[in-house]
Structure 1
Amino acid sequence: MEFANDLRELQQPAQTHIDLNEFTIPDENALFFRAKQKELLEQYDAARMFLSEIDNQDWEHWFAETNNKIANNYFKLVFQSRFYEAALFFYNSVVDISWTVCYVAAEFACSHNGRRLSVEGIPTLESAVEKLRALEGNVTSPTAEETPFAYLKSLSSEFSNPINQTIEFWTEFAETDIRHTYNFCKHKGHPIYNEIEELNNTRVMDLRFGVYGKEKPVITDVRDVQMSISLKESIDNLLNFDNEKLFPYVKRLIETLETIVEPSEMITY
């Protein structure tokens, strides 16, 4: 599996020499931003890990190969489908977390009529955790009817750019096969894959009846009513999405927020 971009580009800038006479105390806004950036990057890394496992050439640690090539190919496809679905979930979580990265940075900075919050002293751990959990609980889809993103845009012009990036990306992504398949797996069931079904010769019967001189199939197997998709096309679609859509969006969003939030170099992860 070849990815066009390096996830290390999404990490916080490398640490430089810090002048203890000039460094700024980390404020909550910057800490929240770095925390969500870290979590997004970890989910992104997991997504790529599972997608990469599809190209694994050593299958012995997943199943015991036999002399039956068809059986070996069948089980290989089954495991590839599992890796695909795991990657699918992680990639979608990256998209969802990107909303939180943007919202947390903007909401906290805009919480006082569009003016930056002036944090006096060092916030306590307990209060910071409570605030971040509360902020996370307010996050909704960027285009939801009651979304707070439009309100935040009206409070601060400097956050219009990253908020627009989030809304534009989600508007396009929400109607893609990737999101539809993810929602189906999450809420409705499990798809079957054409490549696997071609090797799965367990159908008991295949019935048809005639209607006005035309034959129509009759359901005889649970697979007749399951959602069917191509595994290969789905995998290729996910890889192309990473390389061409997701990575450029996340990189641009983080870089934009970085210039606005200006987190202290003292914050690490």
Structure 2
Amino acid sequence: MPGKQSDEEQVETGAAENLAEEDLGGLTAEELRQGQEAALELEDMMALSAQTLVRAEVDELYQQVRPLGQGRFGRVLLVTHRQKGTTLALKELPKASTSLRGFLYEFCVGLSLGTHSAIVAAYGIGIESATSYSFLTEPVLCGDLITFIQPKVGLPQPAVQRCAAQLASALEHIHSRGLVYRDVKPENVLVCDPACQRVKLTDFGHTRPRGTLLRLTGPPIPYTAPELCCPPPLPEGLPIQPALDAWALGDCGGASSMTFQHL
């Protein structure tokens, strides 16, 4: 969830604009330019979204049906529009743990990704109440992938193959937008049906433009790429790139109980 800096890392938001050509951390100049453009686009979207926030209490607009998920800094609710009856998912982030900028950033990243079959669709409605910020997405009702993974067994081979293919496609789409997801784990993969035929990636609070400088300042989590577990190659940090997502997708099977051992 956005709003508070992770204990494990320091991030310099925005692409690394002043790196020397030989210090691009594995990025090409074109890749770095793409990340810089994504950062500028997000800043423009955030400025516009800040001006168009709906200022109202959530309960005035939507009726809560049931919780869909709970995180450290926020929650996701299944709601219906009080007038139209439309069913939606609402992500609510308390102001006590989320800055306006942190909220706008996650909100706009979701919008910037457009439509993809394996990414939760974001709707362009942001809400500010007295105590929270909220935005709306499509509802995905079968929970996250971690609830489908049996201890010491994992997922059946066909489900593993389907999930891996869909997640790889979602990450490729994110990378094509000049962004790096940075939070691949089964808790962020929502399941669309009981047979686990379709999944969708969600939660973009850690997504950053390619080339953003990143330094690990605490113990690495299990699916952290090895280049982040060593002393940083650059004093300012490592310019992040899609390879971090590729490592996490392959490694989180053993580290986060997302068992892809059949692949």
Q: For this structure pair, what is the TM-score category when the shorter chain's length is used for normalisation?
A: under 0.3
TM-score by length of 1: 0.22
Query: Going by fraction, where is strand more abundant, 1 or 2?
Result: 2
TM-score by length of 2: 0.22
Query: Going by fraction, where is helix more abundant, 1 or 2?
Result: 1
Which structure carries more relative contact order (alpha carbon 8 Å, separation 6+)?
1
